Amino acid sequence: MIFEFTTAPGFDFIKFFAKHINATVIDNFMEIPSTMGEGYVRKVGFGNDFKLTIHHYTLKDDLIIKRNPSPETSSVRTFFFYNTNQDLEVKYENEEHIPFSKKNDASILLSTNDLKTEIRFPAGSNIQYVVVAIAADRLRAILSIENPNSTIKTITGENASFLFFESLDSEMQLLLKNIVSVDMNNSMNNFYVQIKVQELMYLLFSKLSLRENTTFKNINSNDAERLLVIRNEILSDLSTPPVIGELATIASMSETKLKQLFKQTFGDTIYNYYQRARMEEAAFLLKQAKHSVSQVGYELGFSNLSHFSRLFEKQYGITPKKFSYTA
């Protein structure tokens, strides 16, 4: 099933989505029809300039949601907090689907509404995510940061076109789970959810505040699509270090532009991003209790297991051997 929409002033996602699937919205709550699957979509408002949409469902068929660029300049900032045990795919323009996150991964996507996006939810996935839409001036008032870095200044500004990714750590995943599971029949729980959403945003912006303070470069849909291709290329084989020249050719960018936009979007250099993903994969494999430390090290391309152990301990504060015992 494909659901396509264009954001504009007054656009109500849950209303248009319900109409598309012949469902009914009652008090900003829409239950997924049993013919499609199970679960719900709920909208929670904290004023006209700050809204939350909660998605929690499992579908029998793939769902593709296409967002067209807004025809008007908008100050709305969209934050997509995503966590599931299945793959989610995002694509820009008309390219092939690109993995949004690895299996058992969790991510946050921040974007402006001028970017054309397409998101695919595979059938049978336990979908659990929230979308926060907030006006830039409301966001600035909530954050109240006197000297924001370039990333936060861009997000809270009025005219930027941006795409940023962040990881969803365990504390944020727990908050997300609490938000999704709240019983909104209790009249005080709207206030509770607002507090939890702001707590989620606090943790997110705490991460963003640590990013290097550099000159921001505007991004368009073509750049966004190519960056996701590069991310996918890096994650496709964690046993082989990325080669910047080869990635630049794939992205049809100069090496300088690729390195600048990648670090701006993902918050780290290409090589550091690769190494972090490598250690996350190592931790995942060690948790399965089916892989020894040496097996994991060799599978991820390490010929020197001492080097593997040092990198793992640097990221997690514990050696892979001790980690495998506690996993």
β-strands 163-167, 106-112 pairing? antiparallel
Average pLDDT per consecutive 10 residues, the chain (327 residues; last block may be shorter)? 84 90 93 94 92 92 85 83 58 45 62 80 84 92 91 88 87 87 83 93 94 88 88 91 95 95 94 92 83 90 92 91 79
In the three-class reduction of DSSP (H, G, I as helix; E, B as strand; rest coil), residue 250 is classed as helix
Angle between helices 270-287 and 255-266 (to 10 degrees): 50
All structural domains of the chain with their residue ranges: 2-208, 237-326
Distance from C-alpha of 62 to C-alpha of 120, rounded to nearest angstrom: 7
Number of C-beta neighbours around residue 3 at 10 A: 15
Distance from C-alpha of 314 to C-alpha of 318, rounded to nearest angstrom: 8
Alpha carbons within 13 A on the beta-carbon side of 5: 19
Residue type, 183: D
Sign of the alpha-carbon dihedral angle for 235, 238, 244, 246: negative
Whole-Å CA distances, 160 to 155, 216, 228, 230, 308: 7, 9, 20, 23, 40
pLDDT of residue 84: 55
Distance from C-alpha of 157 to C-alpha of 14, rounded to nearest angstrom: 27
Whole-Å CA distances, 220 to 119, 162, 267, 284: 17, 8, 18, 34
Whole-Å CA distances, 230 to 10, 118, 226, 274, 321: 36, 17, 6, 11, 32
Residue type, 70: S
Whole-Å CA distances, 302 to 240, 284, 319: 9, 16, 15
Which class is domain 2-208?
A: mainly beta
Distance from C-alpha of 86 to C-alpha of 246, rounded to nearest angstrom: 29
Residue type, 131: V
Stated as kind and residue range, the H or E segment containing 98 is strand 98-99
Contact 177, 106 (CB under 8 A): no
Contact 279, 296 (CB under 8 A): no
pLDDT of residue 91: 52
pLDDT of residue 116: 77
- Closest by Cα among 282, 232, 236 to 100: 232
pLDDT of residue 106: 62
On the question of a common fold for 2-208 and 237-326, the answer reads no
Residue type, 182: V
Contact 130, 52 (CB under 8 A): yes
Which class is domain 237-326?
A: mainly alpha
pTM of the predicted model, to two decimals? Answer: 0.83
Cα dihedral 307/308/314/320 (nearest 10): -130
Distance from C-alpha of 309 to C-alpha of 322, rounded to nearest angstrom: 10
